[in-house]
A and B are shown apart, each in its own frame.
Chain A
Amino acid sequence: MTSTAQTQETTSVRNRIGAAGWWRRLQMPLTHLVLIGIGLIWIYPFLWTVSAAFKTTAEMFGGGLNLIPKNPILDNFVRAWTVANFRVYFWNTVVVTFAVVVIVVLRTALTGYALGRYDFPGKKILRAALVATLFLPAGYTIIPLFDLIKAMGLLNTRWAIILGESGGAHVVFVLLFAGFFASLPQELEDAAKIDGAGFVRIFWNVMLPLARPVIATATIMRFMWSWNAFFIPLVFTLARPNLRTLGVGMYAFVTEYSTDWTGMAAAASISLIPIIIVFLLLQRYFVEGVAGAIKM
């Protein structure tokens, strides 16, 4: 880079091309080398976890950095799945995540549609109230939330976690949907009306299918947050271990059996591998979905 800067002062165009030549040829292989090197360190924790999950305790502590288990065993997985109850935690996480995603995406799409395409009394207030939540200090809302769920009689059910997670205003999603629906041409709606479609059918059959990019963004973001969630599931399962999600179950497991390295690794693998597979299969949507969130 510095050599290009120096040659620039001589202003000889031919010189510049010559000096840039070797850099140009070496730049890409060097970049790949660095990127792959960092990449290996990057995914090392995952490789370490999966490898430890197949090792015996003796090999775990005596094997140093060796990643390939000598005699792969499945005992750790059996122990994590049944004894440590990860079978239950896994199912809890799947159900909670699915329900939260459906509730949140549907609700924010409906709100965004009304806000984005129509004028109605109270619209400004709703918009202001939603945006205000981004700025007002919330205090410590988990306690009132806990009381609310209790008053609804849902404490110690999965609904407690689902409602706790999906209850947030999700302002960004609403604004994304509103912005998108506002950008769709009025003619689309008029044409559907002439064909005899009502408000709901226009939304469901005409507008919503067009909003796929926003739906993808909202789904992916909310899916990651829910699968990752820790605080709300932790608080709502303090009294009911059977409702724990994977993250909370993992925390409880290591608090109790901190010396069981291989059991921990197997439990972590059970939690991590499925999500990594989902991610690799749907990577395009993840990448576009996350990038879409910032293009408001």
Chain B
Amino acid sequence: MKKASAQRRPVSRWRKLDRYWCYVFIAPAVVSYVLFTAWPMAASWYYSFFDWIGLGAPSEFVGLGNFIEAARNPYFWQAFLHTFQYMIGLVALNLPLTLIMAVVLNNKRLKGAAFYRVLYFLPVVTTTAIIGIVMTYIFSPFNGALNIALIKIGLLDKPVHWLGQAATAMLTVVVVAVWKGFGVNMLYWLAGLQSIPEELYEAAKVDGATGVQAFWFVTLPLLKPVGTVITLLTITGALQVFDLMKVMTNGGPFFATETVSLFIYRYAFGQQSRIGFASAAGIFFGVAAMIVAGLQSVLVQRANAERVGRQRVQPTAAIEPVAGRPPTGV
């Protein structure tokens, strides 16, 4: 960006006019930013200091009362725990599985890779809420396809109420979430894999590296930058999970899968709506999520710094042209 502006010759009159046009161009973004991003954020911070049911103007100032109440509410901490369980389950299953699939599909000798890519991407384009509902029927203990199939092949004696018992409900939702979001991370990994120059593999081969060694010492280190972004996106997405949980378990059974987003929704739109408390809980959790995301990037950066210190040649140089390049063509 800097380069483009530094090269520009002063074209006097035009430049002044250009500047006005710039403001016209950014005007929609500024207006929508102020109205739909900045104001709601500031307002929710403001509401969090009031005990307010959402009618009229907030008047009962309680200071940090809502935050303290949230910190003392065991259901809130339980929801915290569930959200992190979901996040860790999703990251632990989704990232390795999508990476393996991407490596398999990236094989140049595999014919029909494009077909498989489309096949495994398919669930991504479908509506989460609808898929979640369909899944509650497939996982149903009464005539659900999964139970019928498992009984038929002899893995089960009697149907399991996958979503109805605390022990299996969370894992069931995680599995569906992995399936639903699989294609996106698979494509991200593929984009990362395709940015690795073929010569590096040839060099590794010449040095006598096996396929596994090449993967471990060439592919994985070079995937780190892309991997960091993928992990961060998966984590932030998982922490906000709402649709799937809402339609599959609605937080049940007995709050066993209530995530923070459902907890807050219950307080904002439930029987007695407590907007101030819901806002405080949202900010509380937002800070926690920020810390998790920050921690993740600090850890990754430290790991990267160590790596660069050890062997400061190829890896970063190889990935940079791709990372800075606009997507495809031109």
Taking the closest CB of chain B, its distance from the CB of A261, in whole angstroms, is 6
Judge whether B229 and A294 touch: CB under 8 Å: yes
Stretch at the interface among B74-82, B87-95, B133-141, B196-204: B133-141
Complex Cα spacing A291 to B138, Å: 31
Judge whether A228 and B18 touch: CB under 8 Å: no
Interface SS, A side: helix
Judge whether B326 and A213 touch: CB under 8 Å: yes
Judge whether B109 and A287 touch: CB under 8 Å: no
Q: Which residues of A contact B120 (CB under 8 A)?
A: 39, 42
Residue B47 interfacial (CB < 8 Å): yes
Complex Cα spacing A143 to B137, Å: 33
Judge whether B191 and A291 touch: CB under 8 Å: yes
Judge whether B110 and A31 touch: CB under 8 Å: yes
Most buried by A among B30, B122, B143: B122
Choice from B4, B44, B126 contacting A140 with Cβ under 8 Å: B44
Judge whether B26 and A114 touch: CB under 8 Å: yes
Complex Cα spacing A139 to B47, Å: 10
Residue A238 interfacial (CB < 8 Å): yes
Q: Which residues of A contact B110 (CB under 8 A)?
A: 28, 31-32
Most buried by A among B133, B152, B323: B133
Judge whether B23 and A120 touch: CB under 8 Å: yes
Judge whether B44 and A8 touch: CB under 8 Å: no
Judge whether A1 and B23 touch: CB under 8 Å: no
Residue B160 interfacial (CB < 8 Å): no
Taking the closest CB of chain A, its distance from the CB of B37, in whole angstroms, is 5
Q: A35-B116, A45-B138 are in contact. Are A272 and B127 (CB under 8 A)?
A: yes
Q: Which residues of A contact B287 (CB under 8 A)?
A: 137
Complex Cα spacing A275 to B127, Å: 9
Judge whether A140 and B279 touch: CB under 8 Å: yes
Judge whether B327 and A140 touch: CB under 8 Å: no
Judge whether A139 and B138 touch: CB under 8 Å: no
Choice from B22, B36, B279, B328 contacting A168 with Cβ under 8 Å: B36
Contact with B along A213-236 (1 / 0, CB 8 A): 110010000001001101100010
Q: A49-B134, A119-B5, A271-B130 are in contact. Are A43 and B122 (CB under 8 A)?
A: yes
Residue A250 interfacial (CB < 8 Å): yes
Q: Which residues of A contact B242 (CB under 8 A)?
A: 230-231
Q: A167-B32, A276-B122 are in contact. Are A114 and B25 (CB under 8 A)?
A: yes
Complex Cα spacing A58 to B80, Å: 43
Complex Cα spacing A174 to B72, Å: 41
Contact with A along B1-36 (1 / 0, CB 8 A): 101110110010010011101110110111011011
Complex Cα spacing A39 to B130, Å: 20
Choice from A35, A126, A139, A283 contacting B26 with Cβ under 8 Å: A126
Judge whether B326 and A137 touch: CB under 8 Å: no
Judge whether A140 and B268 touch: CB under 8 Å: yes
With CB as the reference atom, state the residue of chain B lying closest to A183: B326
Q: Which residues of A contact B29 (CB under 8 A)?
A: 107-108, 110-111, 126, 130, 169, 174
Judge whether A143 and B54 touch: CB under 8 Å: yes
Interfacial residues, chain B to chain A (CB-CB below 8 A):
1, 3-5, 7-8, 11, 14, 17-19, 21-23, 25-26, 28-30, 32-33, 35-41, 43-45, 47-48, 54, 104, 107, 109-112, 114, 116-131, 133-138, 143, 145, 148-149, 152, 179, 183-184, 187-188, 190-192, 208, 210-212, 226, 229-230, 242-243, 246-247, 264, 268-269, 275, 278-279, 281-283, 285-287, 289-290, 293, 322-323, 325-330
